[in-house]
């Protein structure tokens, strides 16, 4: 599987401008057909608590569908939305045919910035099939809660996505936690973050791909662009068989 991360400075609450920027980056760095290409959390608006932002859901979802079909790729992106009378910080993955493969709702709203006043946390761990690979999307602050990732691996996850708006002042935490989640779960971990600034934070970028043994396969610093890496799923399965840590998980220890 080829995985790609799209790292860029998100223009605050301006979907159309962000769409143009993503189109420009993909045109400059064309994805291989069938690749899994990932955009950050709230990819078209930034990490906004503005109650109007979820009104862009259909527009943003339509962009994901059109772009996935245009490039014949699996495309993931974070969007705010209304669901069952609440607001959710969601992450979608779309197939090359424009079909929605999965939708995950961020389980842990970032209470420190009062995200939980506006967005309701999800209660489901999602494991989706992408080209015969089991993929779990998660969002930003989720990264600090290892039990979520352990549950994903128990359900079969092999590739874990962490889509974020992660600030520069906690860049060290971002990099350390991505590695920890990969090592402890013997999984590929793809962290896709934004760069630039919004009214609240400056963002570090540092999008990364970490191997199941903890090697950094990709690290992009603060550069804008689309960056690709090959994930060797046969190697992952062989490693899990030879160093069979996961068989010793104690489910009763999970919350």
- Show which residues are catalytic: 41, 106, 140
Burial class from Cβ neighbours inside 10 Å (0-12, 13-18, 19+) for residue 241 reads exposed
Of 44, 42, 40, 57, nearest in space to 15 by CA: 44
CA distance 160 to 189: 5
> Would residue 214 be called left, alpha or beta, if left means φ above 0 and alpha means ψ between -120 and 50 degrees?
left
Q: Which residues of 110-215 form beta strands (DSSP E)?
A: 128-130, 133-139, 159-163, 188-192, 195-197, 202-204, 208-210
Of 113, 120, 139, 104, nearest in space to 48 by CA: 113
DSSP conformational letter for 122: P
Residue 128, CA distances (Å) to 94, 136, 160, 242 in order: 11, 6, 10, 25
Of 8, 65, 85, 86, nearest in space to 41 by CA: 8
């Amino acid at each position: 599987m080829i995985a790609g991360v799209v790292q860029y400075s998100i223009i605050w609450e301006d979907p159309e401008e962000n769409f143009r920027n993503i189109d420009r980056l993909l045109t400059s760095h064309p994805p291989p057909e069938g690749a899994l290409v990932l955009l950050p959390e709230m990819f078209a608006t930034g990490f906004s608590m503005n109650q109007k932002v979820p009104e862009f859901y259909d527009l943003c979802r339509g962009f994901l569908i059109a772009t996935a079909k245009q490039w014949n790729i699996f495309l993931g992106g974070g969007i705010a939305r209304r669901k069952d009378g609440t607001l959710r910080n969601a992450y979608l993955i779309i197939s090359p045919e424009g079909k929605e493969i999965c939708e995950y709702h961020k389980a842990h709203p970032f209470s420190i910035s009062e995200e939980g006043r506006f967005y309701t946390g999800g209660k489901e761990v999602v494991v989706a099939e992408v080209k015969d690979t089991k993929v779990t999307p998660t969002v930003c602050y989720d990264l600090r809660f290892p039990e979520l990732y352990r549950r994903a691996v128990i359900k079969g996850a092999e590739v874990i996505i962490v889509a974020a708006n992660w600030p520069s002042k906690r860049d060290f935490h971002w990099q350390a936690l991505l590695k920890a989640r990969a090592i402890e779960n013997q999984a590929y971990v793809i962290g896709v973050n934004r760069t630039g600034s919004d009214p609240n934070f400056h963002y570090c970028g540092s999008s990364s791909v970490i191997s199941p043994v903890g090697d950094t396969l990709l690290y992009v610093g603060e550069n804008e662009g689309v960056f690709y890496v090959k994930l060797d799923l046969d190697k992952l399965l062989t490693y899990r068989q030879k160093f069979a840590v996961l068989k010793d998980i104690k489910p009763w220890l999970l919350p």
